[in-house]
Structure 1
Amino acid sequence: MNEKALNDLEIACALEEIFGLPDDPDVSDDNLESDDEDEQYSTVKLQRILESLDEPHDGILAPTPDPPDSLISNISNASVENQPSPSPQPTNSDRLRRARIIQNAPSTSGTQQTLRRQPQSPVANTNSDSETDDSDGEEETWKKTMWTTDRPSPSVYDEIPMEPAIMFSSRTRPVTVFEKFFTDEVYDLIIYQTNLYAEQRKDEGWTQLDKKELKAFVGIFIIMGYNILPSIDLYWSSDPGFRVDEIAETMTVKRFKKILRNLHVNDNTQIPDKTSENYDKLYKIRPLLDLITQACQKNAKDSSSQSIDESMILFKGRSSMKQYMPLKPIKRGYKVWCRCDSKTGYLYEFYIYTGKSKTGTEEGLGSKVVKMLTEKLINKALEEYHIIITFDNFFCDYTLMQYLYENGIYATGTVRRHRKHLPVLVKTNQKLAKGQYKWRVKGNVSFLVWQDTKEVLLLSNAFHPKVGKTTVLRTQKDGTKQEINCPLAIKEYTKRMGGVDHFDQIKSTYSVGRRSRRWLQKAKEKYKAKRAKESEGDRNSRLQKRREQLASKTPEQYEARLKKQRQRYTQMTASETPEEYEARLTKQRERYTQMIASETPEEYEDRLTKQRE
């Protein structure tokens, strides 16, 4: 039998076989990812290869022990040399000798050729996904190797809990804690802008709002949050089944509605034009958002374990910012990006999503959000203590994980299959048994696919898939509990991901939102903008035009219009009972009394003059 001597490239192939773990989940001794059988064979083979380098080659390979069938199958499939199969069944040793790689490049030194052409895994021959721009050469950098730098143990990420900046005694009133977030600066902002808006719209009967009255207004809103009634008027009802004395005795319903009508936190006259680069959809509440965010960061120290996720603010009206999230408890409303403590749900930072940006960007939205929310953590992560951030597959990708690691932040997140820069094994449709997993490492990021009830794909720069194994309980169809194998990275992700959900749960207990049609309603905003731009002369010209239209009518047309009005009034009063008639007159008298009570003598004379005209 005529055989070729082994060269450096074939030695590199053998090294790849030794230190690369098998992709076949059936080749295992613990039903996970083990390669003991292959290592025993490959160690003997490498020993023979190294011994042969010290001896003169005579064209015949040294005897090699028979390898396991699983490895022979993988090596044979990787061969690209077309050789006719002999009629008798070859032995395993013969089949191994025939597994060769044709060298297309000119013959050079073995070291240069090995650097120029690395041995390929059989999985690397899979066609690349159309949704990724990675070449096969880039995907081959995902290997089954350990990290070159150590990582902290999981317990390190729990060493720094969330702590308030100021420790309160057990006797501290809740309002004291509330005012650490709703500060005097917030009250002063609302008072100034609300009085300014009432002055701009020339609200008749408006009296200046002060801090004491505003605090009472905020307190009423909080009570309405946990004592919910169908309408605002019922809190002042004479029916004891609805009336809330704490509200009714604090402020009149008329004053409450007047404050609610004029409530503002920014100057409407300074709104940038929609075509301007400085246009902000949240301009009307931007100062308040900034103050609340600053208070959240000031009143608590950053913990070492945090999570990033989406939260929702309920809104069912018309708005370009409204989003639909079918998997959230609140499915329609405003989307808010939140960074919260993993354990307590304390909110550190948030941003309201205003919709797709007008200027396109190459960077994904999820990655951009994570970088924005972690910007203030970089210095702490590099200089003070270890921080781990957890997020779901909307945010996660390889480049983000590498960016966070380079800035000292550890992170773990589930990832979508179509993301760029993932190993080629995500493109295979091989079904794993429950509890089995595959993994790869590239640089400082590890990739893991684990089979639970469904397939779970995970990226992490904090946990290596082969370091730490644990189990999880799963309920079977017959109701029994079964333990299945689970990588430590999966369990740590589940443990640290629920911070924003915890925040949502706490927030829903004291919700102060009420049904409203004011926020960004297109028709009303258009009407308000039109009225704001009209001058006094324009309004007078419109009134004069209406008077001319009435004066141009003939006596017959005028009488016909009055006749129709009398018929409508007769039909309305004919269907009324005496009690309904008296109730209608009473309401009319009350409205008239309220109107004239708020008028000055000059306003009264002006109204009479207009009526005479």
Structure 2
Amino acid sequence: MDSEEEFLSSSEDEMLDDERLDLKERFDLKEVTVCIENVAPLLASHTRAALKRHSVFNAVENLNECENDSDQIPVAKKAKTISWKAETHVDQVPQTLRFLPAQEPGPQLSPADAHSPMSIFKMFFTENAVSNLCHNTNAQAARAIAKGRKYKWTDVSVDEMYRYIGLIFYMAAVKMSCIADYWRQDSLFSLPFPATVMPRDRYRTISWNVHMSHPDADKENDRKRGTAEHDRLFRIKPLMDTIRFACKSFYHPRRNLAVNERLVACRANTGMTRCTKVKQTKFKLFVLSDSSNGYTVDFSVYTGKNSFPTDRGLSYDAVMSLLDNKGLGSGYHVYMDDFYTSPKLLTDLFAMKFGACGTYRDHRKDFPKTTANSLTKNSTRGSIRWIRDGPLVCVKWMDMQVVSVCSTIHAAYTGERVQKRVKAQDTWKTKSFPCPAPVTAYHKHMGSVDLSDQLLQYYTAQHKTMKWYRKIFLHFLDIAATNAFILHKELYDNMSHSQFMEELIAELCGVSEKTAPKQTSTDHVPVPGAELTSDIRRIATVGRRICVHCKAVRGKKQQTPWKCQACDVHLCLQLDRNCFQEWHKSL
């Protein structure tokens, strides 16, 4: 029994030793396997399924970690580290996406039909939308009067609302220091036109009460504040939906699109504005525009952290909310700045058959962090480095500083060169530098955002107001007028921006653009043509000029000392010849 027990114990010890050795071998093998699995994506060809599981950029970091943690990796595996490639290396051109728009790009209107500036503007501000605007404005005015406001009010009609909008555009074209100055008649810079459209007090009461949603519905929505059912955009949504639908209906964008943010200045505390460095509160809008002409294709208003339902980040969700496969089609190229660009967004857009290109921030997640053969501060101007991961290529270019761009559309470098002014020996000279294809395309197509903002600012309707939703209402007017001008230019190209706005204002206000408004009769009074002199001998001759009526009608050069104060023309005022009266009958 003792011998049998000793035999069993010795056998058990041997079995335990074998298990420990086996576990140790398996543990060491597991460590090596982890490092090999991290290196494997570098050597394998990239497919869509592989892209979802691995990334070259992450594999580089994991490989470096394995090299630091263990010295047991073979030398051959250590040598295959990923580094930045130079412009001398040939990059494989990514798969070209076929451009298949849902509709023929361009205006969805027939150029054979007559389209005036007002008729195109009414496609965005339709009569139904303006009728609803009038209904809600009248309800808001009635509510204000019931609360004790003391002003005269009559219900605003659709025609009067269009005249009110025309006056807003007139004030955008003719700048004065305050609203009341447009109706002043005792100033050197008096403007006769606004008083012919509507009285000052009427304009002000409409401005106080303009409302895009019904006040009773606003009250119900405000009760839900703090809950998931509360809609922060409720006060602007009726008109916003109409404008967005019109932007997408009457124009289909061309291939190159740009995404960027647009800020609308407002000091109201609404909980969905952002503060800038200059301590101004502004609304943020995410805008999708056509790169060829600056047309606003779509937009969304940022309302805070919970603006979008998904949980992939604001920049990701903002771009995805503006791109619609069904409405746009496929094969579009989307350009964006470093706020939006991420590998996740670009690869997901590529899976949706949207190419994308944008600048990026080096510290952002999933972008390459390796410094092997990377650019430094001492790199020569025009140096290029790139890394490709399937359809996604990241490029660094040394200009005055390092420019980082990634793209799923372009090859890293295809031979483009740019002209830059450089200073050498106290003189400026133009020198040619190599430039990556994504950088060249980015600078070319991202300018549409600046063009769109520039067109809006030429005749912006923005002015000081106390309510945030009225600031958005004025911005909707800017979008509608600018898009209407772009459509008119695409169809006819026979008007400048200023001419278009002048004709639009005239049609909205119901006046003729070519005839100047009649001045009030109180301005047409006879005054001396020159200051009176103390010299009695010259009283009868000083300031005498030829009467314009006698010369035009009678063909005679009769001189007179009298002139019209408003018209500033000399006219006879005699007992037998009243040219002053005859002249003003023809006005």
Which range, TM-score by smaller chain?
A: 0.5 to 0.7
| 1:182 aligns to 2:125 (yes or no) | yes
Q: Is the 8 A contact 1:343 1:498 kept in 2?
A: no
| 1:295 aligns to 2:246 (yes or no) | yes
Offset at residue 244 of structure 1 (A): 2.6
Q: Equivalents in 2 of 1:238, 1:373: separation in Å?
A: 49
Aligned residue in 2 for 1:67:
none
Of 320, 333, 337, which aligns to 2:286?
Answer: 337
| 1:462 aligns to 2:413 (yes or no) | no
Q: Is the 8 A contact 2:288 2:322 kept in 1?
A: yes
Describe the SS at the equivalent of 2:197.
Answer: coil
Q: Equivalents in 2 of 1:103, 1:504: separation in Å?
A: 56
| 1:450 aligns to 2:397 (yes or no) | yes
Aligned residue in 1 for 2:350:
405
Cα-Cα RMSD: 3.8
Amino acid at match of 2:434: N
Q: Is the 8 A contact 1:162 1:341 kept in 2?
A: no
Of 109, 124, 127, which aligns to 1:166?
Answer: 109
| 1:513 aligns to 2:470 (yes or no) | no
Identify if the C-alpha distance between structure 1 residues 282 and 80 changes in structure 2 by more than 3 Å, giving closer, same or farther: closer
Aligned residue in 2 for 1:252:
199
Of 245, 253, 277, which aligns to 2:228?
Answer: 277
Please give the per-residue CA displacement for 1:79-118, whole angstroms capped at 9, x wherever unaligned.
989xxxxxxxxxxxxxxxxxxx9557xxxxxxxxx9xx96
Identify if the C-alpha distance between structure 1 residues 306 and 78 changes in structure 2 by more than 3 Å, giving closer, same or farther: closer
Of 339, 361, 382, which aligns to 1:394?
Answer: 339
Aligned residue in 1 for 2:166:
219
Aligned residue in 2 for 1:230:
177
Aligned residue in 1 for 2:142:
199
Of 292, 317, 324, which aligns to 1:368?
Answer: 317
Identify if the C-alpha distance between structure 1 residues 229 and 270 changes in structure 2 by more than 3 Å, giving closer, same or farther: same
Q: Equivalents in 2 of 1:379, 1:257: separation in Å?
A: 41
Aligned residue in 2 for 1:473:
419
Identify if the C-alpha distance between structure 1 residues 419 and 79 changes in structure 2 by more than 3 Å, giving closer, same or farther: closer
Q: Equivalents in 1 of 2:247, 2:67: separation in Å?
A: 62
Amino acid at match of 1:471: R
Offset at residue 357 of structure 1 (A): 2.7
Describe the SS at the equivalent of 2:435.
Answer: strand
Q: Is the 8 A contact 1:401 1:411 kept in 2?
A: yes
Offset at residue 323 of structure 1 (A): 2.5
TM-score by length of 2: 0.60
Describe the SS at the equivalent of 1:479.
Answer: strand
Amino acid at match of 1:150: Q
Q: Equivalents in 2 of 1:512, 1:79: separation in Å?
A: 61
Q: Is the 8 A contact 2:375 2:385 kept in 1?
A: no
Q: Equivalents in 1 of 2:80, 2:247: separation in Å?
A: 51
Identify if the C-alpha distance between structure 1 residues 499 and 304 changes in structure 2 by more than 3 Å, giving closer, same or farther: same
Offset at residue 459 of structure 1 (A): 1.1
Please give the per-residue CA displacement for 1:138-174, whole angstroms capped at 9, x wherever unaligned.
x9xxxx8855963269xx899x995111144697432
Identify if the C-alpha distance between structure 1 residues 245 and 267 changes in structure 2 by more than 3 Å, giving closer, same or farther: same
Q: Equivalents in 2 of 1:490, 1:460: separation in Å?
A: 9
| 1:322 aligns to 2:267 (yes or no) | no
Identify if the C-alpha distance between structure 1 residues 507 and 331 changes in structure 2 by more than 3 Å, giving closer, same or farther: farther
Q: Is the 8 A contact 2:266 2:280 kept in 1?
A: no
Q: Is the 8 A contact 1:157 1:388 kept in 2?
A: no
Q: Is the 8 A contact 1:447 1:460 kept in 2?
A: yes
Offset at residue 326 of structure 1 (A): 5.8
Describe the SS at the equivalent of 1:504.
Answer: helix
Amino acid at match of 1:216: R
Describe the SS at the equivalent of 1:178.
Answer: helix
Identify if the C-alpha distance between structure 1 residues 454 and 103 changes in structure 2 by more than 3 Å, giving closer, same or farther: closer
Of 434, 459, 464, which aligns to 1:485?
Answer: 434
Please give the per-residue CA displacement for 1:575-602, whole angstroms capped at 9, x wherever unaligned.
xxxxxxxxxxxxxxxxxxxxxxxxxxxx
Amino acid at match of 1:255: R
Q: Equivalents in 2 of 1:318, 1:496: separation in Å?
A: 35
Offset at residue 360 of structure 1 (A): 9.8
Amino acid at match of 1:245: P
Offset at residue 269 of structure 1 (A): 2.5
Identify if the C-alpha distance between structure 1 residues 473 and 103 changes in structure 2 by more than 3 Å, giving closer, same or farther: closer
Describe the SS at the equivalent of 2:145.
Answer: coil
1:120-135 equivalence runs, <5 A: 121-122=80-81
Please give the per-residue CA displacement for 1:308-346, whole angstroms capped at 9, x wherever unaligned.
01111122444433334569xx97521111100112000
Describe the SS at the equivalent of 2:124.
Answer: coil
Q: Is the 8 A contact 2:254 2:292 kept in 1?
A: no
Q: Equivalents in 1 of 2:142, 2:451: separation in Å?
A: 42
Q: Equivalents in 2 of 1:455, 1:315: separation in Å?
A: 35
Aligned residue in 2 for 1:150:
95
Instruction: Decide which moves more: 202-211 or 401-410.
Output: 202-211
Offset at residue 219 of structure 1 (A): 0.8
Offset at residue 78 of structure 1 (A): 13
1:305-320 equivalence runs, <5 A: 305-320=256-271
TM-score by length of 1: 0.58
Aligned residue in 2 for 1:346:
295
Offset at residue 373 of structure 1 (A): 0.9
Q: Where does the alignment leave 5 or more consecutive residues of structure 1 unmatched?
A: 1-12, 20-76, 82-100, 105-113, 125-138, 522-613
Q: Is the 8 A contact 1:417 1:426 kept in 2?
A: no
Describe the SS at the equivalent of 2:118.
Answer: helix
Q: Is the 8 A contact 1:378 1:408 kept in 2?
A: no
Q: Is the 8 A contact 1:186 1:291 kept in 2?
A: yes
